[in-house]
Amino acid sequence: MINQKDITALIITSAIKNIPEIRKNMYAISKVSKDLDFIEDTLENIKSYSGIDNFVIIHDFKIDSQYSIMHNKNLLQIKKKFKFDLLTSPSCLAMPSQLTASNAFKLGIRQIKSKYLLFWEHDHLFIKKVNWNIVSNSFRYGGKLIKFNRSKNDLNSKWHLQKELILEKGITNQLFESKHNDLSETNFYCNGPFISETNFCKDLWANINYEIPNWNGSFGGFIEGPVNQKMLEEQLNQNEDQFRQKYPLFVYGEKFSDPIVIHRGNYIPKYKFNLFSSDTYTNIPRILKHKLFNLLRLIKNKA
């Protein structure tokens, strides 16, 4: 059985994102990071549902953002209570979050000395207690990483059909039945919550063809993109046994299992204005749409 004391939770947090490949002239401000109790709730949730009590928090800190400055003050205040390790990955608003968040990931994993890590973006919560028999068995069966499912485990592939689904239908994120009880398997890496052997995760993030990208496409966002592109390249040019031996990735729960974690992230758009940029005027309908949506929600809440 894996001992929770051999696991460090690596938590990545940020108060504001710049995602120009999705929408120019807009920042995304984290709703939850404004709340002083937000990180406390996250830490207490992980402790209560998993028993993990060793935390490293990395702040993707935008040095020119009031939201990041406020979030950093909150983190320093909470640190006195929980005594976690807090590291700062400096960036600025002009830098795309595809780059800055991934850089925070890499800074964080260099600090992990334990055999295993729990990777956790700040806006997730457990909704069920972790069954450590399931987690331990996944590693006993040769796994190197187990993802906690954020949605029901609806299978969309079979072991022998993976390449065909990629080449004929472009289905890259595949979930298929495992021969082991209480587990599913996958061919796809995701930044959602997972437990991994620390050295395996380090190698996974380092074994890529491209540098961390300034794009968000079919292979996923942040460090997901280069990792999944490299994994798919190897999957399409190896037999399945070779691929699975190198990338033994499990998913928590068997087919149709309900999720064990939820994603509670929500962001408020904040638009940038430049009178000489056509993007400013393109954003006006979007701004009015958000204003109307918020007004209707306010009226509904008061009714």
What pLDDT score was predicted for residue 288? 55
| Owner of token pair 């709703």 | 31
Q: How far is CA 199 from CA 114, 116, 117, 207, 255, in A?
A: 10, 8, 9, 12, 29
pLDDT in tens, 25-54: 667 777 666 676 788 999 999 999 999 999
Domains in the chain with CATH codes:
4-272 (3.90.550)
Nearest to 187 by CA among 239, 231, 147: 231
| Three-class secondary structure assignment of the chain | CCCHHHEEEEEEECCEEECCCCCCCEEEEECHHHCHHHHHHHHHHHHHHHCCCCEEEEEEEECCCHHHHHHHHHHHHHHHHHCCEEEEEEECCCCCHHHHHHHHHHHHHCCCCCCEEEEEECCEEECCCCCHHHHHHHHHCCCCEEECCCCCCCCCCCHHHHHHHHHHHCCCCCEEECCCCCEEEECCCCCCCEEEEHHHHHHHHHCCCCCCCCCCECCECCCHHHHHHHHHHHHHCCCHHHHHHHCCEEEECCCCCCCCEEECCCEEEEECCCCCCHHHHHCHHHHHHHHHHHHHHHHHHHC
pLDDT in tens, 174-232: 999 999 999 999 999 999 999 999 999 999 999 998 877 766 677 777 899 899 999 99
- Give 148's pLDDT tier (boundaries 50, 70, 90): very high
What would the two tokens of residue 196 be? 């991994």
- pLDDT at residue 102 above 80? yes
What pLDDT score was predicted for residue 104? 95
Separation CA 179–CA 195 (nearest Å): 20
pLDDT in tens, 112-139: 999 999 999 998 999 999 999 999 999 9
- Give 88's pLDDT tier (boundaries 50, 70, 90): very high
- pLDDT at residue 23 above 80? no
pTM for the model: 0.85
pLDDT in tens, 263-293: 886 666 565 544 445 555 455 565 455 556 5
What pLDDT score was predicted for residue 281? 46
What would the two tokens of residue 53 be? 């009590």
- pLDDT at residue 298 above 70? no
What pLDDT score was predicted for residue 152? 95
- Average model confidence (pLDDT) for the chain? 86
What pLDDT score was predicted for residue 292? 61
What pLDDT score was predicted for residue 214? 67
